[in-house]
Structures are given as structure tokens and as C-alpha cells.
């Protein structure tokens, strides 16, 4: 009983905050004031920003910034999906469009519209309607869920076999990665194969899915061991384990140039710390955001040119030359990697000026599902968004002579398939996803083994907004498939009898703590 009370004191208070309203009047008022100040400064420093596009960007900024402000003000838990989507949305819907105009920074290799601001404004208007649908969806799901204050115990750890299975999973994934290294001639050969961009890794996708799960499995095991001892971990210990985790992420797939897999993995690990070990303060998130931007920028040089990219980065002249050749600039990282404003605006422009484009009508989503079938079995898999995106940007007939690999985001892929009308529907469905993840976290027992997947689910919400269906599917399979199987194997269903529960003494929460669930 004392164990449950201490556990809820440590974890329950932060989980309680996740149940706060999405945004109160105070946050909306402050949001309107902050967005007004930003727009006013932009107008003073950039006369080109005086255009009607500013109005829908401003209104959308107020809506999404209110969620981000609730996160900043501590009204929402650090890993509340509504708060984190709001935090990311401040840049995605508000800051990025303004920066495009201020920096005059636009996508390459396209014939631009006569006035980018016109189409930024139209896209911002569509996103504004979408954000209204998104917020309505979250409110609707919140009302339907009832907002009860009862935690529902579901699954605990099978302590008898968990570490045994953990070692088996680590052994299998580690041996597979060792096989990969032996196949390509060690770490140096692994890096060389990435630099050469040849066919070395073709057909090894499912091997990577299994082997590159090693770091997350390692960290899950760390959390389970902590749970067994119930000893408060110092931040020095936690950061040391996180440093080991980062090295493992580099060794298990990071050297293939995937920046997102490393960032997603660190997000997951930090989330496990928050939900299972000790609450993560917001100042660590601030430092983490700075690290993410810096890492994405620096590691982008490796992604473009391998080890030579790191050499170019250390030399100013070579770095500037590489930036101009590959667009691996800081602006490109902030606006290209973390934003979709110009890309979505350009798609809207092309849809309005190209009557020959044929809507994909859902084919890009079906093509993403087809990615589950190896090319060795289905060599002529449909290209999906690659074909549709290329034809919309450059005209019919250019594919496959020219192939665009851009990422279009939630609104962008919707336009490729159905045009602009269903965009609010997609935002409403997106809100359903965010609300479902939030409600699941709130109603989970602090020691529910499935909570180890909570950071992954929160991350999925952000990925869904900024990415396409193929990226989302790859994220789910590559990052979550093996850890989910492991967790399902070691989970133990809690006994559900009235005599097995006793009310905990957690402050502010009415929790039924299971006596037999540990």
C-alpha cells in the first residue's frame, strides 16, 4: 500500500495535469497578444509582410498557440499530446509561414507562383478551418469519455519471465545487427555502403526492423529493472543511461543517415523516464528542443555526404559550399525539415492552375500499405505519393523521368488524393487520434506495462501531422513493432476483483490501486 502511495505521489501529479481543459480564456487572450506582437514586429522589419495572408496565419496561430501556452504554463503534463502538438504547431502553422516571407526562403526546383504570399494565405485559411475541426474533435472525445477520475488497471509486468525475455530479445536483435556489420565489412563498411548509396542494403528492410529495435529494448529493460528495485534514480544516472542509448542508436541504424530515428528514439526514452522513473521537468524539454534542431542541422551534413560531410562542417568555407549544394542550411532545417508551409502552398497553387492533374483518390494511402510487401516479392509496387506529388508539381508525363521525394504532411497528402474539401475531415480525424492517446494515458494505471508505449503514441501524433502515410507506416513498423511484441509477451493481466483493490492516498486523484498488480 505504501508502495502505491509513493508511486502515485511521484507520477500521479503530472498525470493529473493531462486532464486539464485544452485552453482557458486566459491562454487564448495571451495567445492573441503574443501573436499580435510577433506579427507587428514582422511588419516593422519586413514591409513585404503587409499582405492579407497575415490574417489567417494570425488566427490559426492564436488557436494553436493557446494549446502550446497551456503546456508552457504547466496546465498540461509534459508529455500531454495536446500540449506537444500545440507546441510543435506554433512553429508549423504560425512561425514557419512568417519566416518564409521574412527570409524569402522557398522550395527549390519548381516554377514558383507569381506571389507566394497569396497561396500561403489560402493554405493558412484551410489550415485554420482544419484547426477548428481539430479542436472540436478533441472536445467531443473528451465529453464522450466522461472525464472520470478513475484509473483502470490493466496489465502489469510478468516479473518471473520479463528479464529472461528481455535478454532473449537483446540477443536476437544484437546478433542480427552483428550479421549486418559482418555482411558489409564492419562499421567502416557500413558507413561506406551508406555513402555509396548502392544496393548493399536492398532487401534488408525487415532485418533492420528487428535489429534496430535493440536500443529501445535496452531502455525498456532499464525501466523494468528500476521498477524491480523501486529506488529513485538521480538525473546523473538517467543522463548516463540516455548517453549510452544515443550511442546505441548510432550503432543500430543511425549511421545509415536516419536523423528522425535517432530523435524519435530519444523522445521515447525520455518519455519512459517521465512515465516510469521520475517526472521530466520542462527545462529539460527546452534543452532537448535546442539539441534536436542542432542535431538535425549537423547530422544533415552526414546524411548528405557521409563522413566527408562532418569534415566539411568543421571548415567554414566547405560548410557554406555544402549548404548551397544540398540546402542543409539552418533555415532549411527549421523551415524544410520542421515545416511544410511552402510545399503545401505550392500544391494548392498547382491544384488551382493545373486542370490536367488527376486526383489519386486514396492511391497514395494504399501504396503506403503496399510497402509492407518486399520488393523482391512485388518489384512493381505502386509509387503512391512519389508519382502523384511529381505529377502535381511538374505536370503529367514527367514521372518517372523526374521523381519528387518531398514530404507533404497531413493537409498536403489529402490534397494529392481528394483536393481541398476533405482537409477539415482529416484534421477532425487527427484530433480523434490525439484525444484517444490522451485519454488512454490518463486512464492507465501508473504501473500499466503498456504505458511504456505511451511516448511512442504521443510521437505518432506529431508524426501524423507533419508526415505522409508512408512515413507514418514506416515510423510504426520500424520503431514500434518489435518493442510492442516484447511488451505484449511480458505483460500480465491484472486480477479484477473488488477485494483486490484499495483506494490509494494519492493527492488529487481517485485511484484504485490493485494489490495483486505490481
pLDDT tens profile 7-32: 343 343 344 454 444 444 588 899 99
Q: In the structure, what pLDDT confidence band is assigned to residue 511 with cuts at 50, 70 and 90? A: very low
Mean pLDDT of the chain: 83
pLDDT at 476: 94
pLDDT at 151: 57
Residue 273 contacts residue 10 (beta carbons within 8 Å): no
pLDDT at 397: 80
Opening angle at CA 155, ends 152 and 156, nearest 5: 115
In whole angstroms, give the CA distance from residue 127 to residue 92: 10
For the chain, how many residues are written?
A: 518
Q: How many helices (H) and strands (E) does the chain have?
A: 24, 4
Res. 496: pLDDT tops 60: no
Q: In the structure, what pLDDT confidence band is assigned to residue 273 with cuts at 50, 70 and 90? A: very high
pLDDT in tens, 66-77: 999 999 988 999
Query: Which pTM does this prediction carry?
Result: 0.87
- What Cα–Cα distance (Å) separates residue 509 from each residue in 17, 185, 288, 443? 11, 56, 30, 11
Side-chain half-sphere CA neighbours of 116 within 13 A: 20
Q: Mapping DSSP to helix (H, G, I), strand (E, B) and coil, where does residue 297 land?
A: helix
Res. 229: pLDDT tops 70: no
Q: Mapping DSSP to helix (H, G, I), strand (E, B) and coil, where does residue 423 land?
A: helix
Res. 160: pLDDT tops 70: yes
Per the model's pLDDT, the better-predicted residue between 12 and 240 turns out to be 240
Q: In the structure, what pLDDT confidence band is assigned to residue 184 with cuts at 50, 70 and 90? A: confident
- Written as one string, the DSSP assignment of 367-420 is HHHHTTS-TTT-TT---THHHHHHHHHH-TT-TTTS------HHHHHHHHHH-S
Q: In the structure, what pLDDT confidence band is assigned to residue 228 with cuts at 50, 70 and 90? A: low
Percent of the chain with pLDDT over 90: 52
pLDDT in tens, 120-129: 999 999 999 9
pLDDT in tens, 366-425: 999 988 887 777 877 777 899 999 999 998 888 878 888 899 999 999 999 999 999 999
In whole angstroms, give the CA distance from residue 70 to residue 107: 33
pLDDT at 310: 62
In whole angstroms, give the CA distance from residue 3 to residue 14: 18
- Written as one string, the DSSP assignment of 125-187 is HHHHHHHHHHHHHHHHHHHHHTT--B-B--EEE-HHHHHHHHHHHHHHHHHHHHHHHHHHTHH
Q: In the structure, what pLDDT confidence band is assigned to residue 159 with cuts at 50, 70 and 90? A: confident
In whole angstroms, give the CA distance from residue 297 to residue 300: 5
Per the model's pLDDT, the better-predicted residue between 415 and 253 turns out to be 415
Q: In the structure, what pLDDT confidence band is assigned to residue 506 with cuts at 50, 70 and 90? A: very low
79-88, 152-161, 181-190, 421-430: least confident range: 152-161
Minimal CA–CA distance to 251: which of 167, 174, 172? 174
Mean pLDDT value of segment 36-55 = 95
Per the model's pLDDT, the better-predicted residue between 81 and 494 turns out to be 81
Mean pLDDT value of segment 59-65 = 96
Side-chain half-sphere CA neighbours of 233 within 13 A: 25
224-233, 346-355, 442-451, 493-502: least confident range: 493-502
- DSSP classification of residue 491: E
pLDDT at 319: 66
Res. 230: pLDDT tops 70: no
Percent of the chain with pLDDT over 70: 83
Amino acid at each position: 500500500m505504501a508502495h502505491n502511495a509513493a508511486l502515485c505521489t511521484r507520477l500521479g501529479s503530472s498525470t493529473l495535469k493531462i486532464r486539464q481543459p485544452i485552453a482557458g480564456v486566459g491562454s487564448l487572450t495571451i495567445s492573441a497578444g503574443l501573436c499580435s506582437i510577433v506579427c507587428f514586429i514582422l511588419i516593422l522589419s519586413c514591409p513585404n509582410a503587409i499582405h492579407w495572408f497575415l490574417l489567417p496565419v494570425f488566427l490559426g496561430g492564436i488557436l494553436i498557440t493557446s494549446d502550446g501556452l497551456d503546456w508552457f504554463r504547466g496546465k498540461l503534463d509534459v508529455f500531454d499530446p495536446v500540449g506537444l502538438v500545440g507546441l510543435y504547431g506554433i512553429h508549423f502553422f504560425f512561425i514557419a509561414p512568417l519566416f518564409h516571407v521574412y527570409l524569402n526562403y522557398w522550395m527549390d526546383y519548381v516554377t514558383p507562383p507569381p506571389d507566394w504570399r497569396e497561396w500561403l494565405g489560402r493554405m493558412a485559411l484551410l489550415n485554420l478551418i482544419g484547426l477548428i475541426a481539430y479542436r472540436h474533435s478533441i472536445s467531443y472525445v473528451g465529453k464522450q469519455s466522461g472525464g472520470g477520475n478513475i484509473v483502470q488497471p490493466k496489465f502489469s509486468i510478468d516479473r518471473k519471465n520479463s528479464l529472461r525475455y528481455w535478454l532473449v530479445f537483446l540477443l536476437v536483435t544484437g546478433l542480427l545487427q552483428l550479421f549486418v556489420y559482418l555482411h558489409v565489412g564492419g562499421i567502416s563498411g557500413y558507413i561506406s555502403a551508406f555513402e555509396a548509396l548502392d544496393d548493399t542494403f536492398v532487401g534488408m528492410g525487415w532485418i533492420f526492423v528487428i535489429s534496430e529495435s535493440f536500443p529501445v529494448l535496452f531502455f525498456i529493460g532499464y525501466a523494468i529493472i528500476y521498477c524491480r528495485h523501486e529506488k529513485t534514480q538521480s538525473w546523473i544516472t538517467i543522463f548516463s543511461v540516455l548517453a549510452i542509448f544515443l550511442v546505441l542508436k548510432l550503432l543500430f541504424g543511425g549511421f545509415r543517415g536516419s536523423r528522425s530515428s535517432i530523435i524519435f528514439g530519444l523522445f521515447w526514452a525520455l518519455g519512459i523516464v517521465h512515465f516510469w522513473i521520475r517526472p521530466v521537468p520542462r527545462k529539460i524539454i527546452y534543452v532537448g528542443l535546442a539539441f534536436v534542431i542542432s542535431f538535425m542541422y549537423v547530422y544533415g551534413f552526414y546524411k548528405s555526404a557521409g563522413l566527408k560531410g562532418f569534415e566539411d562542417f568543421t571548415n567554414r568555407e566547405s560548410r557554406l559550399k555544402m549548404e548551397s549544394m544540398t540546402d542543409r542550411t539552418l533555415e532549411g532545417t527549421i523551415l524544410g525539415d520542421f515545416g511544410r508551409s511552402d510545399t503545401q502552398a505550392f500544391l494548392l497553387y498547382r491544384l488551382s492552375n493545373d486542370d490536367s492533374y488527376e486526383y489519386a483518390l486514396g492511391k497514395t494511402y494504399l501504396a503506403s500499405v503496399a510497402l509492407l510487401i518486399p520488393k523482391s516479392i512485388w518489384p512493381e509496387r505502386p509509387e503512391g505519393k512519389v508519382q502523384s506529388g511529381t505529377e502535381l508539381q511538374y505536370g503529367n508525363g514527367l514521372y518517372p523521368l523526374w521523381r519528387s521525394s518531398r514530404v507533404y504532411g497531413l493537409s498536403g497528402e489529402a490534397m494529392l488524393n481528394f483536393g481541398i474539401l476533405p482537409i477539415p475531415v482529416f484534421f477532425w480525424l487527427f484530433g480523434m487520434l490525439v484525444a484517444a492517446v490522451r485519454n488512454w494515458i490518463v486512464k492507465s494505471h501508473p504501473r500499466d506495462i503498456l504505458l511504456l508505449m505511451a511516448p511512442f503514441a504521443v510521437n505518432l501524433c506529431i508524426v501524423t501531422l507533419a508526415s505522409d502515410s508512408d512515413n507514418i507506416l514506416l515510423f510504426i513498423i520500424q520503431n514500434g513493432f518489435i518493442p510492442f511484441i516484447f511488451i505484449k509477451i511480458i505483460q500480465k493481466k491484472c486480477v479484477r476483483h473488488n477485494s483486490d483493490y484499495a483506494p490509494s492516498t494519492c493527492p488529487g486523484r481517485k485511484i484504485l490501486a490493485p494489490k495483486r498488480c505490481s
